[in-house]
Amino acid sequence: MDNKRREGFSSGLAAFFATLGAAVGLGNIWKFPYVVGENGGAAFLLIYIICIALVGLPVMISEFFIGRRTRKNVVGAVKQLNNGKIWTGIGIFSLLGSHFILFFYSCVGGWVYSYVFKILKGEFAGATSRTVAYQFTNTTMGPISPVIWQIVVVVVVSIILILGVKNGIEKITKTLMPVLLVLIVICDIRALTLPGTKESLAFLFKADFSKVTSQTILIAMGLAFFKLSVGMGAMVTYGSYFTKEDNMIGTASKVAISDLIVSLLVGIAVFSAVFTFGMKPSGGPGLLFMTIPLVFSKIPFGNILLVAFFILASIAATTAMTSMFEVPVAYYSEERGMSRKKAVIVNAIIIIIFGILATLSVNNDSLLGGIKIFGKGFFDLFDYLSSNVILPLGGLFIAILVGYFIPKEEIKKELTNNGELKIDKVIDFYYFILRYVTPVILIIVFLSSIGIFR
């Protein structure tokens, strides 16, 4: 493919919003609250922040470097950097990671889409703890309805990708991400007036380290990778669309900080409702769907705001899925010579086929819930393998490749935009962390994930 004719983002602001759209998705709105809730709150949150600083951020910067340096998809990029040697496998590994996440992520995206229509139909009028629990069960059990909504999500994302980088990815993220942030703030303003706010803040910000285990660290690492969309090739792919003037370290830092702020805002809203309505923080994947309707039910014109929130949540799901989906699309169109449209359709079919397995195995009562692999149903298996094995391992490979096999001067030249940015000390610090801290943490986490080290 001729890189001179290759699409890219139009500006640094567009690159920021697209990258933020990749990071801020259901990981913040859906996964973050229930994972924090299951792992003890503040202590887990602190470990998660450390994981972002020492692992997530350095890997993100490295992925941006690889992408913009080569202007290629993740497989072609690694192949060019390493002259086609064994590190090319990193690209294939990234493709696998993006697919595994999409298999179960599209399922949750379908739940969000379906909630928009349930709310419009008035099914959450006068919501109570019992009715929201019933609605969530009804949404996920199916078996036909959740599959249909999953297909709808994949079709919507496919249309955006067929439109291209500027007309599809850039436009939807640049337009809608700011609106999502405003709605989260509105939700928080109301949540802070609920009786459970004090308990919510204590749960999120008062650490109890007695609950911390090696498994806690593993889960925190997996969440950091999942939420920042690193280790799966998404940031390599988006980095390849950056302009030559983009400050990649600055963009990565702003995305990581913004992502954390959004997660905390959502956490405050969700846990305020949890403690107000006597629910359990460890409510699992349904926590968001059973708390936000309760928060908005207490607000004047709450039904209108509830519709708006889930519309924007569906947008967050869409933008995040778009970044993951773009990884295999870029690969098939650039390395395999497919048209962009054909690459989208082929991958959409793959995602739907395997995604249905996840949708029909959400819990033991689901149609395929009795089928277990390594003690996990398809939904949990795809989630666990991607978040706790594939993404950290992919991040490890990226850290080693950039930290030990790419000359430092080449890295410095790219990250300073050929000397335009005077950030040499920042790069030195990043390079030290990437070489001597990030790989060690990732190796320990990976060995723990497969049971060799505890």
Residue 362, judged by CB atoms within 10 A of its CB (0-12, 13-18, 19+), counts as buried
In contact, 21 and 235? CB cutoff 8 Å: no
pLDDT at 3: 45
Q: Confidence class of residue 191 from pLDDT cuts 50, 70 and 90?
A: confident
What's the rounded Cα separation, in Å, for the pair 64 and 206?
35
In contact, 147 and 103? CB cutoff 8 Å: no
In the predicted model, is pLDDT for residue 179 greater than 90? Answer: no
Of 1-5, 65-69, 383-387, least confident by mean pLDDT is 1-5
What's the rounded Cα separation, in Å, for the pair 86 and 24?
33
In contact, 291 and 298? CB cutoff 8 Å: no
Q: Confidence class of residue 395 from pLDDT cuts 50, 70 and 90?
A: confident
Task: Tell me the range of 154-163, 219-228, 276-285, 315-324 where mean pLDDT is highest.
Answer: 154-163
**pLDDT over 90 percentage in the chain:** 31
Average pLDDT, integer, range 177-204: 81
In the predicted model, is pLDDT for residue 312 greater than 80? Answer: no
Of 291-305, 357-371, 413-427, 428-442, least confident by mean pLDDT is 291-305
A 10 A CB-CB count for 27 gives 27
pLDDT at 377: 92
Average pLDDT, integer, range 415-438: 94
- What homologous superfamily is domain 3-449 in, according to CATH? Amino acid/polyamine transporter I (1.20.1740.10)
Give the residues across from 376 on adjacent strands: 373
Q: Comparing 4 with 357, which gets the higher pLDDT?
A: 357
Ordered alpha helix ranges (H), 335-377: 340-359
In the predicted model, is pLDDT for residue 133 greater than 90? Answer: no
pLDDT at 84: 59
How confident is the model over 25-43, as pLDDT tens digits?
777 777 788 788 778 788 8
DSSP string spanning 292-340?
HHHHHTTSTTHHHHHHHHHHHHHHHHHHHHHHHHHHHHHHHHHTS---H
How confident is the model over 69-123, as pLDDT tens digits?
999 999 899 888 876 566 777 888 888 889 999 999 999 999 999 999 888 888 8
In the predicted model, is pLDDT for residue 436 greater than 80? Answer: yes
Q: Confidence class of residue 290 from pLDDT cuts 50, 70 and 90?
A: confident
Q: Which residues of 31-59 are buried (b: 16+ CB within 10 A; e: fewer)?
A: bbbbbbbbbbbbbbbebbbbbbebbbbbb
Match 């690492």 to its residue by tokens.
221
Q: What angle do CA 354, 132, 259 make, to 5 degrees?
A: 60
How does DSSP classify residue 361? T
In the predicted model, is pLDDT for residue 1 greater than 60? Answer: no
In one-letter notation, the amino acid at residue 171 is K
Residue 224, judged by CB atoms within 10 A of its CB (0-12, 13-18, 19+), counts as buried
Give the residues across from 428 on adjacent strands: none
Q: Comparing 332 with 365, which gets the higher pLDDT?
A: 332
**pLDDT over 70 percentage in the chain:** 91
Give whole-number Cα distances, 161 to 45, 70, 179, 306, 378, in Å: 34, 21, 21, 28, 27
Which residues, including other chains, have CB under 8 Å from residue 247's CB and lie 6 or more apart? 12, 417, 421
Give the residues across from 260 on adjacent strands: none
What's the rounded Cα separation, in Å, for the pair 150 and 146?
6
In contact, 28 and 181? CB cutoff 8 Å: no
Q: What angle do CA 41, 44, 45 make, to 5 degrees?
A: 80
Q: Comparing 229 with 348, which gets the higher pLDDT?
A: 348
Of 203-212, 359-368, 389-398, least confident by mean pLDDT is 203-212
In the predicted model, is pLDDT for residue 338 greater than 70? Answer: yes
In the predicted model, is pLDDT for residue 278 greater than 80? Answer: no
What's the rounded Cα separation, in Å, for the pair 18 and 12?
10
In contact, 410 and 401? CB cutoff 8 Å: no
Compute the radius of gyration of the chain from its Cα atoms: 21
pLDDT at 66: 94
In the predicted model, is pLDDT for residue 2 greater than 60? Answer: no
Q: Confidence class of residue 11 from pLDDT cuts 50, 70 and 90?
A: low
pLDDT at 218: 78
In the predicted model, is pLDDT for residue 299 greater than 70? Answer: no
pLDDT at 196: 84
In the predicted model, is pLDDT for residue 415 greater than 90? Answer: yes
In the predicted model, is pLDDT for residue 155 greater than 90? Answer: yes
In the predicted model, is pLDDT for residue 4 greater than 80? Answer: no
Q: Rounded to the nearest 5°, which phi and psi values hold at 411?
A: -65, -45
In contact, 431 and 408? CB cutoff 8 Å: yes
Q: Confidence class of residue 241 from pLDDT cuts 50, 70 and 90?
A: confident
pLDDT at 433: 96
pTM for this one? 0.86
Q: Rounded to the nearest 5°, which phi and psi values hold at 373?
A: -125, 120
In the predicted model, is pLDDT for residue 454 greater than 60? Answer: no
The mean pLDDT of the chain is 84
Of 196-200, 215-219, 393-397, least confident by mean pLDDT is 215-219
pLDDT at 279: 75
